[in-house]
Protein backbone atom coordinates (compact mmCIF):
# COMPACT_ATOMS: atom_id res chain seq x y z
CA UNK A 1 0.00 0.00 0.00
CA UNK A 2 1.11 3.59 -0.57
CA UNK A 3 -0.41 5.04 2.57
CA UNK A 4 -3.97 6.02 3.35
CA UNK A 5 -5.98 7.47 0.46
CA UNK A 6 -6.89 11.15 0.70
CA UNK A 7 -10.20 11.92 2.42
CA UNK A 8 -11.85 13.73 -0.44
CA UNK A 9 -12.05 12.86 -4.09
CA UNK A 10 -10.14 15.23 -6.36
CA UNK A 11 -12.19 17.49 -8.64
CA UNK A 12 -12.06 16.67 -12.33
CA UNK A 13 -11.16 19.34 -14.88
CA UNK A 14 -14.13 21.06 -16.42
CA UNK A 15 -14.02 19.79 -20.02
CA UNK A 16 -16.53 19.06 -22.80
CA UNK A 17 -15.93 15.30 -22.54
CA UNK A 18 -18.27 12.45 -21.53
CA UNK A 19 -15.73 11.22 -18.94
CA UNK A 20 -13.84 12.95 -16.11
CA UNK A 21 -10.19 13.90 -16.43
CA UNK A 22 -8.39 14.29 -13.09
CA UNK A 23 -5.08 16.14 -13.19
CA UNK A 24 -2.88 17.03 -10.25
CA UNK A 25 0.16 16.08 -8.23
CA UNK A 26 -0.41 12.88 -6.27
CA UNK A 27 -3.84 12.21 -7.79
CA UNK A 28 -2.74 8.63 -8.46
CA UNK A 29 -3.26 7.92 -4.76
CA UNK A 30 -7.01 8.36 -5.38
CA UNK A 31 -7.37 5.91 -8.28
CA UNK A 32 -9.04 3.33 -6.02
CA UNK A 33 -11.78 5.78 -5.09
CA UNK A 34 -12.09 7.17 -8.60
CA UNK A 35 -12.55 3.63 -9.96
CA UNK A 36 -15.22 2.83 -7.40
CA UNK A 37 -17.03 5.99 -8.50
CA UNK A 38 -16.78 5.81 -12.29
CA UNK A 39 -16.48 2.07 -12.93
CA UNK A 40 -17.43 -0.01 -9.89
CA UNK A 41 -16.65 -3.65 -10.62
CA UNK A 42 -16.00 -7.04 -9.11
CA UNK A 43 -12.47 -7.33 -10.46
CA UNK A 44 -9.70 -4.94 -11.41
CA UNK A 45 -7.12 -5.74 -14.11
CA UNK A 46 -4.16 -3.35 -14.02
CA UNK A 47 -2.18 -3.46 -17.27
CA UNK A 48 1.32 -1.93 -17.46
CA UNK A 49 4.81 -2.53 -18.80
CA UNK A 50 7.69 -4.03 -16.86
CA UNK A 51 9.44 -0.63 -16.53
CA UNK A 52 6.42 1.26 -15.19
CA UNK A 53 4.96 -1.57 -13.06
CA UNK A 54 7.51 -1.42 -10.19
CA UNK A 55 7.49 2.39 -10.24
CA UNK A 56 3.73 3.01 -10.26
CA UNK A 57 1.39 0.20 -11.35
CA UNK A 58 2.09 -2.03 -8.33
CA UNK A 59 1.13 0.67 -5.84
CA UNK A 60 -1.96 1.51 -7.89
CA UNK A 61 -3.01 -2.18 -7.86
CA UNK A 62 -2.47 -2.16 -4.09
CA UNK A 63 -5.35 0.33 -3.74
CA UNK A 64 -7.76 -2.52 -4.59
CA UNK A 65 -8.58 -5.78 -2.73
CA UNK A 66 -5.79 -8.33 -3.39
CA UNK A 67 -8.09 -11.28 -4.10
CA UNK A 68 -9.94 -9.53 -6.94
CA UNK A 69 -7.06 -7.56 -8.49
CA UNK A 70 -4.29 -8.64 -10.83
CA UNK A 71 -1.36 -6.82 -12.41
CA UNK A 72 -0.62 -7.88 -16.00
CA UNK A 73 2.63 -6.69 -17.59
CA UNK A 74 4.31 -6.76 -20.99
CA UNK A 75 7.83 -5.61 -21.92
CA UNK A 76 8.11 -1.87 -22.75
CA UNK A 77 8.39 -0.45 -26.27
CA UNK A 78 6.46 0.36 -29.43
CA UNK A 79 7.31 -3.05 -30.95
CA UNK A 80 5.14 -4.64 -28.22
CA UNK A 81 1.98 -2.85 -29.41
CA UNK A 82 0.94 -5.87 -31.45
CA UNK A 83 -1.96 -8.21 -32.07
CA UNK A 84 0.18 -10.93 -30.42
CA UNK A 85 0.32 -8.96 -27.16
CA UNK A 86 -3.40 -8.17 -27.45
CA UNK A 87 -4.08 -11.93 -27.73
CA UNK A 88 -1.70 -12.75 -24.87
CA UNK A 89 -3.33 -10.21 -22.53
CA UNK A 90 -6.81 -11.31 -23.55
CA UNK A 91 -5.93 -14.96 -22.87
CA UNK A 92 -4.39 -14.02 -19.51
CA UNK A 93 -7.61 -12.22 -18.54
CA UNK A 94 -9.67 -15.25 -19.58
CA UNK A 95 -7.41 -17.59 -17.65
CA UNK A 96 -7.69 -15.39 -14.57
CA UNK A 97 -11.46 -15.60 -14.93
CA UNK A 98 -12.22 -11.96 -15.66
CA UNK A 99 -15.85 -11.51 -16.60
CA UNK A 100 -17.74 -8.50 -17.85
CA UNK A 101 -17.70 -7.16 -14.31
CA UNK A 102 -14.03 -6.17 -14.60
CA UNK A 103 -12.43 -2.74 -14.87
CA UNK A 104 -9.16 -2.33 -16.75
CA UNK A 105 -6.66 0.23 -15.49
CA UNK A 106 -4.00 1.15 -18.05
CA UNK A 107 -0.85 2.46 -16.35
CA UNK A 108 1.90 3.55 -18.75
CA UNK A 109 2.82 5.53 -21.82
CA UNK A 110 0.87 5.69 -25.06
CA UNK A 111 1.82 2.11 -25.94
CA UNK A 112 0.10 0.72 -22.84
CA UNK A 113 -2.81 3.17 -23.20
CA UNK A 114 -3.45 2.08 -26.78
CA UNK A 115 -2.91 -1.65 -26.18
CA UNK A 116 -4.77 -1.96 -22.86
CA UNK A 117 -7.50 0.30 -24.26
CA UNK A 118 -7.87 -2.04 -27.23
CA UNK A 119 -7.95 -5.10 -24.96
CA UNK A 120 -10.68 -3.38 -22.91
CA UNK A 121 -12.64 -2.39 -26.02
CA UNK A 122 -12.83 -5.97 -27.30
CA UNK A 123 -12.87 -8.15 -24.19
CA UNK A 124 -16.37 -9.62 -23.92
CA UNK A 125 -17.50 -6.80 -26.22
CA UNK A 126 -16.12 -4.07 -24.01
CA UNK A 127 -14.90 -3.42 -20.47
CA UNK A 128 -14.54 -0.02 -18.81
CA UNK A 129 -10.99 1.32 -18.87
CA UNK A 130 -9.35 3.98 -16.73
CA UNK A 131 -6.37 5.59 -18.43
CA UNK A 132 -3.44 6.47 -16.19
CA UNK A 133 -0.88 7.99 -18.58
CA UNK A 134 2.71 8.11 -17.28
CA UNK A 135 4.53 9.87 -20.15
CA UNK A 136 4.03 13.51 -21.07
CA UNK A 137 2.95 12.48 -24.57
CA UNK A 138 0.33 10.10 -23.23
CA UNK A 139 -0.93 12.75 -20.78
CA UNK A 140 -1.44 15.50 -23.34
CA UNK A 141 -2.33 13.41 -26.35
CA UNK A 142 -2.90 9.65 -26.25
CA UNK A 143 -5.06 9.36 -23.13
CA UNK A 144 -7.75 11.81 -24.27
CA UNK A 145 -9.91 11.11 -27.30
CA UNK A 146 -10.84 7.44 -27.01
CA UNK A 147 -8.64 6.06 -29.78
CA UNK A 148 -7.14 2.61 -29.11
CA UNK A 149 -5.08 0.45 -31.46
CA UNK A 150 -2.28 -1.99 -32.16
CA UNK A 151 0.32 -1.86 -34.93
CA UNK A 152 0.67 -4.33 -37.81
CA UNK A 153 3.54 -5.03 -40.23
CA UNK A 154 1.61 -2.83 -42.71
CA UNK A 155 1.77 0.22 -40.47
CA UNK A 156 1.03 1.75 -37.08
CA UNK A 157 -2.40 1.79 -35.42
CA UNK A 158 -4.10 -0.09 -38.27
CA UNK A 159 -6.25 -2.32 -36.05
CA UNK A 160 -8.17 -0.62 -33.28
CA UNK A 161 -11.38 0.88 -31.97
CA UNK A 162 -12.86 4.04 -30.56
CA UNK A 163 -13.38 3.26 -26.87
CA UNK A 164 -13.76 6.16 -24.46
CA UNK A 165 -12.19 5.72 -21.04
CA UNK A 166 -14.36 5.87 -17.92
CA UNK A 167 -11.85 8.34 -16.51
CA UNK A 168 -8.37 9.68 -17.18
CA UNK A 169 -6.06 10.16 -14.20
CA UNK A 170 -3.03 12.37 -14.85
CA UNK A 171 -0.47 12.61 -12.06
CA UNK A 172 2.44 14.81 -13.24
CA UNK A 173 4.56 13.62 -10.28
CA UNK A 174 5.35 10.45 -12.22
CA UNK A 175 7.13 12.45 -14.94
CA UNK A 176 10.23 12.88 -12.78
CA UNK A 177 11.35 9.33 -13.55
CA UNK A 178 10.93 9.78 -17.30
CA UNK A 179 14.15 9.98 -19.38
CA UNK A 180 14.72 13.58 -20.54
CA UNK A 181 14.44 12.77 -24.24
CA UNK A 182 11.08 11.06 -23.73
CA UNK A 183 9.89 14.05 -21.67
CA UNK A 184 10.88 16.48 -24.42
CA UNK A 185 9.14 14.34 -27.00
CA UNK A 186 5.85 15.18 -25.25
CA UNK A 187 6.64 18.90 -25.45
CA UNK A 188 6.39 18.71 -29.25
CA UNK A 189 2.68 17.87 -29.03
CA UNK A 190 2.19 20.73 -26.56
CA UNK A 191 3.82 23.19 -28.97
CA UNK A 192 1.50 21.75 -31.63
CA UNK A 193 -1.54 22.41 -29.43
CA UNK A 194 -0.48 26.06 -29.13
CA UNK A 195 -0.04 26.40 -32.89
CA UNK A 196 -3.38 24.83 -33.79
CA UNK A 197 -5.55 26.60 -31.23
CA UNK A 198 -4.13 29.03 -28.73
CA UNK A 199 -1.37 31.66 -29.10
CA UNK A 200 -1.16 32.52 -25.36
CA UNK A 201 -0.78 28.79 -24.60
CA UNK A 202 2.03 28.61 -27.20
CA UNK A 203 3.79 31.45 -25.34
CA UNK A 204 3.27 29.68 -22.00
CA UNK A 205 4.92 26.50 -23.31
CA UNK A 206 7.74 28.60 -24.75
CA UNK A 207 8.38 30.32 -21.44
CA UNK A 208 9.02 26.94 -19.78
CA UNK A 209 10.90 25.37 -22.73
CA UNK A 210 14.38 26.60 -21.78
CA UNK A 211 14.10 25.20 -18.25
CA UNK A 212 12.99 21.79 -19.53
CA UNK A 213 15.73 21.70 -22.17
CA UNK A 214 18.36 22.43 -19.55
CA UNK A 215 17.07 20.56 -16.52
CA UNK A 216 14.39 18.10 -17.73
CA UNK A 217 12.18 16.96 -14.86
CA UNK A 218 14.63 18.62 -12.45
CA UNK A 219 13.65 22.13 -13.59
CA UNK A 220 12.65 24.51 -10.76
CA UNK A 221 8.93 24.22 -9.90
CA UNK A 222 8.68 21.50 -12.51
CA UNK A 223 5.54 19.78 -11.24
CA UNK A 224 3.55 23.00 -10.73
CA UNK A 225 4.52 24.41 -14.14
CA UNK A 226 4.00 21.19 -16.09
CA UNK A 227 0.64 20.58 -14.38
CA UNK A 228 -0.61 23.93 -15.62
CA UNK A 229 0.65 23.27 -19.14
CA UNK A 230 -0.77 19.73 -19.25
CA UNK A 231 -4.15 21.13 -18.21
CA UNK A 232 -3.96 23.66 -21.05
CA UNK A 233 -3.06 20.97 -23.60
CA UNK A 234 -5.76 18.58 -22.44
CA UNK A 235 -8.30 21.39 -22.72
CA UNK A 236 -7.26 22.13 -26.31
CA UNK A 237 -7.38 18.46 -27.30
CA UNK A 238 -10.71 17.96 -25.51
CA UNK A 239 -12.27 20.93 -27.32
CA UNK A 240 -11.22 19.49 -30.67
CA UNK A 241 -12.32 15.89 -30.05
CA UNK A 242 -15.61 17.02 -28.47
CA UNK A 243 -16.48 18.73 -31.72
CA UNK A 244 -15.40 15.81 -33.90
CA UNK A 245 -15.55 12.55 -31.97
CA UNK A 246 -14.84 10.21 -34.88
CA UNK A 247 -12.37 12.13 -37.00
CA UNK A 248 -14.58 13.46 -39.79
CA UNK A 249 -13.31 17.02 -39.84
CA UNK A 250 -11.89 19.30 -37.17
CA UNK A 251 -9.82 16.54 -35.57
CA UNK A 252 -7.58 16.77 -38.60
CA UNK A 253 -6.02 19.94 -37.19
CA UNK A 254 -4.34 17.68 -34.61
CA UNK A 255 -2.39 16.33 -37.58
CA UNK A 256 -0.40 19.52 -38.00
CA UNK A 257 3.24 18.46 -38.43
CA UNK A 258 2.19 14.84 -38.67
CA UNK A 259 1.99 14.26 -42.45
CA UNK A 260 5.74 14.87 -42.61
CA UNK A 261 6.39 13.31 -39.18
CA UNK A 262 4.70 10.03 -40.09
CA UNK A 263 6.51 9.93 -43.43
CA UNK A 264 9.92 10.52 -41.81
CA UNK A 265 9.21 7.96 -39.09
CA UNK A 266 8.32 5.43 -41.71
CA UNK A 267 11.41 6.07 -43.83
CA UNK A 268 13.62 5.83 -40.73
CA UNK A 269 11.89 2.63 -39.60
CA UNK A 270 10.38 4.24 -36.48
CA UNK A 271 13.80 4.64 -34.89
CA UNK A 272 13.12 8.32 -34.19
CA UNK A 273 11.16 9.48 -31.14
CA UNK A 274 7.69 10.53 -32.25
CA UNK A 275 8.05 14.01 -30.71
CA UNK A 276 11.32 14.58 -32.58
CA UNK A 277 9.59 13.68 -35.85
CA UNK A 278 6.66 15.98 -35.01
CA UNK A 279 9.05 18.84 -34.19
CA UNK A 280 10.77 18.72 -37.57
CA UNK A 281 7.43 18.03 -39.27
CA UNK A 282 5.87 21.19 -37.79
CA UNK A 283 8.75 23.36 -39.01
CA UNK A 284 8.60 21.89 -42.54
CA UNK A 285 4.82 22.14 -42.73
CA UNK A 286 4.88 25.75 -41.51
CA UNK A 287 7.29 26.47 -44.39
CA UNK A 288 4.81 24.83 -46.75
CA UNK A 289 2.05 27.06 -45.33
CA UNK A 290 4.21 30.10 -46.06
CA UNK A 291 5.17 28.94 -49.54
CA UNK A 292 1.55 28.50 -50.66
CA UNK A 293 0.70 31.94 -49.30
CA UNK A 294 -1.47 30.68 -46.44
CA UNK A 295 0.77 31.90 -43.63
CA UNK A 296 2.72 35.08 -43.37
CA UNK A 297 6.54 34.92 -43.60
CA UNK A 298 8.03 34.30 -40.17
CA UNK A 299 5.67 31.59 -38.93
CA UNK A 300 8.12 28.76 -39.62
CA UNK A 301 11.00 30.65 -37.96
CA UNK A 302 8.80 31.22 -34.88
CA UNK A 303 7.91 27.55 -34.64
CA UNK A 304 11.52 26.49 -35.24
CA UNK A 305 12.58 28.78 -32.38
CA UNK A 306 10.08 27.12 -30.01
CA UNK A 307 11.17 23.65 -31.11
CA UNK A 308 14.89 24.39 -30.61
CA UNK A 309 14.28 26.01 -27.23
CA UNK A 310 12.46 22.86 -26.14
CA UNK A 311 15.56 20.85 -27.09
CA UNK A 312 13.85 19.28 -30.10
CA UNK A 313 15.21 19.03 -33.66
CA UNK A 314 14.01 21.61 -36.21
CA UNK A 315 15.86 20.11 -39.18
CA UNK A 316 15.51 16.89 -41.10
CA UNK A 317 18.21 14.32 -40.22
CA UNK A 318 21.29 14.47 -42.48
CA UNK A 319 21.21 12.01 -45.35
CA UNK A 320 17.44 11.53 -45.26
CA UNK A 321 16.14 10.32 -48.63
CA UNK A 322 13.61 13.02 -49.58
CA UNK A 323 12.12 10.97 -52.44
CA UNK A 324 11.20 8.29 -49.95
CA UNK A 325 9.76 10.86 -47.55
CA UNK A 326 7.62 12.43 -50.28
CA UNK A 327 6.42 9.00 -51.42
CA UNK A 328 5.55 8.21 -47.79
CA UNK A 329 3.50 11.41 -47.42
CA UNK A 330 1.05 9.80 -49.83
CA UNK A 331 0.50 7.03 -47.31
CA UNK A 332 -0.53 3.59 -48.41
CA UNK A 333 -2.81 4.99 -51.06
CA UNK A 334 -1.33 5.75 -54.46
CA UNK A 335 -0.33 9.36 -55.06
CA UNK A 336 -3.29 11.45 -56.12
CA UNK A 337 -1.73 13.64 -58.77
CA UNK A 338 1.47 14.05 -56.74
CA UNK A 339 -0.11 16.06 -53.93
CA UNK A 340 -0.41 14.94 -50.32
CA UNK A 341 -2.80 16.65 -47.88
CA UNK A 342 -1.66 18.77 -44.96
CA UNK A 343 -3.38 20.44 -42.00
CA UNK A 344 -1.76 23.87 -42.08
CA UNK A 345 -1.66 26.93 -39.82
CA UNK A 346 -2.32 30.48 -40.98
CA UNK A 347 -0.74 31.86 -37.82
CA UNK A 348 0.06 30.67 -34.28
CA UNK A 349 -3.36 29.73 -32.88
CA UNK A 350 -5.20 29.69 -36.21
CA UNK A 351 -5.61 26.78 -38.67
CA UNK A 352 -6.73 26.90 -42.30
CA UNK A 353 -10.21 25.46 -42.59
CA UNK A 354 -9.99 24.72 -46.36
CA UNK A 355 -13.78 24.81 -46.67
CA UNK A 356 -14.30 22.64 -43.63
CA UNK A 357 -11.95 19.84 -44.66
CA UNK A 358 -9.05 21.16 -42.55
CA UNK A 359 -6.58 19.62 -44.99
CA UNK A 360 -4.97 21.26 -48.01
CA UNK A 361 -3.51 19.40 -51.02
CA UNK A 362 0.06 20.54 -51.67
CA UNK A 363 2.09 19.66 -54.81
CA UNK A 364 5.14 17.48 -54.17
CA UNK A 365 7.64 20.05 -55.49
CA UNK A 366 6.61 22.55 -52.80
CA UNK A 367 6.90 19.84 -50.14
CA UNK A 368 10.38 19.01 -51.42
CA UNK A 369 11.43 22.66 -51.28
CA UNK A 370 10.26 22.93 -47.66
CA UNK A 371 12.15 19.76 -46.71
CA UNK A 372 15.36 21.00 -48.36
CA UNK A 373 15.36 24.40 -46.67
CA UNK A 374 18.10 24.79 -44.06
N1 LIG B 1 -4.51 6.99 -28.93
C2 LIG B 1 -4.06 8.17 -29.31
O3 LIG B 1 -4.82 9.11 -29.56
C4 LIG B 1 -2.58 8.37 -29.40
C5 LIG B 1 -2.07 9.67 -29.56
C6 LIG B 1 -0.68 9.84 -29.60
C7 LIG B 1 0.16 8.74 -29.50
N8 LIG B 1 -0.37 7.49 -29.35
C9 LIG B 1 0.50 6.31 -29.25
O10 LIG B 1 1.35 6.45 -28.12
C11 LIG B 1 2.52 5.67 -28.34
C12 LIG B 1 3.72 6.41 -27.84
O13 LIG B 1 3.57 6.63 -26.46
P14 LIG B 1 4.77 7.15 -25.54
O15 LIG B 1 5.54 8.20 -26.25
O16 LIG B 1 4.16 7.44 -24.24
O17 LIG B 1 5.77 5.90 -25.49
P18 LIG B 1 5.81 4.56 -24.60
O19 LIG B 1 4.47 4.18 -24.14
O20 LIG B 1 6.57 3.57 -25.40
O21 LIG B 1 6.68 5.00 -23.34
C22 LIG B 1 8.02 5.38 -23.53
C23 LIG B 1 8.96 4.68 -22.54
O24 LIG B 1 8.85 5.33 -21.28
C25 LIG B 1 8.70 4.37 -20.24
N26 LIG B 1 7.93 5.06 -19.21
C27 LIG B 1 6.61 5.41 -19.26
N28 LIG B 1 6.29 6.15 -18.21
C29 LIG B 1 7.40 6.27 -17.43
C30 LIG B 1 7.68 6.94 -16.22
N31 LIG B 1 6.78 7.70 -15.62
N32 LIG B 1 8.92 6.84 -15.71
C33 LIG B 1 9.88 6.12 -16.36
N34 LIG B 1 9.68 5.49 -17.53
C35 LIG B 1 8.44 5.57 -18.06
C36 LIG B 1 8.03 3.21 -20.89
O37 LIG B 1 8.31 2.02 -20.19
C38 LIG B 1 8.65 3.21 -22.28
O39 LIG B 1 9.86 2.52 -22.27
C40 LIG B 1 2.55 5.33 -29.80
O41 LIG B 1 2.25 3.97 -29.96
C42 LIG B 1 1.45 6.18 -30.40
O43 LIG B 1 0.84 5.57 -31.52
C44 LIG B 1 -1.71 7.30 -29.31
ZN1 LIG C 1 1.62 12.93 -32.43
Domain final position from 177, 205, 228:
177
Question: Which residue range(s) make up the domain with 73?
Answer: 21-177
Question: Global pTM?
Answer: 0.94
Separation between Cα atoms, residue 56 and residue 79, nearest integer Å: 22
**Residue 255 bears catalytic tag:** yes
Question: Are 246 and 162 within one domain?
Answer: no
User: What is the pLDDT confidence band of residue 244, given thresholds at 50, 70 and 90?
Assistant: confident
* Residue 335: pLDDT band with limits 50, 70, 90: very low
In this predicted structure, the answer to whether residue 334 has a pLDDT above a threshold of 60 is: no
Over residues 37-45, the mean pLDDT reads: 97
What's the CATH number where 140 sits?
3.40.50.1970
Does residue 81 line the site of ligand 1, with CB under 6 A? yes
Counting ligand 1 atoms within 8 A of each CB, the residue from 109, 181, 185 with the most, and so the one to mutate, is: 109
Q: Ligand 1 in contact with 265 (CB < 6 A)? A: no
Q: Kindly state whether residues 110 and 202 are assigned to the same domain.
A: no
193 is catalytic: no
* Residue 258 bears catalytic tag: yes
Dihedral over Cα of 22, 26, 232, 118: its sign: negative
Q: Do residues 299 and 289 make contact, with C-beta atoms less than 8 angstroms apart?
A: yes
Is 132 in the same domain as 209? Answer: no
Residue predicted with more confidence, 193 or 244: 193
User: Does ligand 1 come within 6 angstroms of the Cβ of 268?
Assistant: no
322 touches 368 (CB < 8 A): yes
Average pLDDT, integer, range 208-236: 95
**Domain-ending residue, one of 122, 150, 177:** 177
| Number of structural domains in the chain | 2
Q: How far apart are CA 276 and CA 23, in angstroms?
A: 25
For residue 7, what pLDDT is reported?
63
User: Same domain, yes or no, for 218 and 339?
Assistant: yes
Please say if the pLDDT value at position 12 is more than 80. yes
Residue 5 predicted with pLDDT over 60: no
Which range scores top for mean pLDDT: 7-11, 225-229, 243-247? Answer: 225-229
In a domain, 344, yes or no: yes
At 136 the pLDDT is 97
Statement to judge: residues 160 and 228 lie in one domain: no
Is 355 catalytic? The answer is: no
Partners of 43 in beta bridges: 102
> Which of 184, 193, 235, 258 is flagged as catalytic?
258
194-209 mean pLDDT: 97
Does position 44 have pLDDT exceeding 50, yes or no? yes
Q: How far is Cα 46 from Cα 92, in angstroms, rounded to an integer?
A: 12
| 102-108 vs 350-351, strand pairing mode | unpaired
Average pLDDT of 340-345? 94
Dump the DSSP string for 120-188. HHHGGG---EEEEE-SHHIIIIITSS-EEEEEETTEEEEEEEE---SEEEE-GGGGGGS-HHHHHHHHH
pLDDT band for position 373 (cuts 50, 70, 90): confident
pLDDT of residue 355: 77
CATH number for the domain harbouring residue 238: 1.20.1090.10
Rounded Cα distance between 19 and 12, Å, is 9
**Shared domain check, 164 and 227:** no
- Give the chain's end-to-end CA distance (angstroms, integer): 54
114 in ligand 1 pocket by Cβ < 6 Å?
yes
Amino acid sequence: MTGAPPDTLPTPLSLPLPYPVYCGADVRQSIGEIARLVAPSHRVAVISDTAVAPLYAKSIAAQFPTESTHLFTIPPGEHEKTRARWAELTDALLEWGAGRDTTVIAVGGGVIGDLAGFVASTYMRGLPVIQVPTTLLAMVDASVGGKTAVDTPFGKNLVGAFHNPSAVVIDPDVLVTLPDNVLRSGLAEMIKHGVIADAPYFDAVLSFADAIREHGGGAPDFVAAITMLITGSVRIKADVVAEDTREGGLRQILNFGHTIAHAVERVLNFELLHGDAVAMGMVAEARIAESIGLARAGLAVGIADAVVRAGLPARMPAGLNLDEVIAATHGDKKARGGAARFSLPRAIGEMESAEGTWAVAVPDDLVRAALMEK
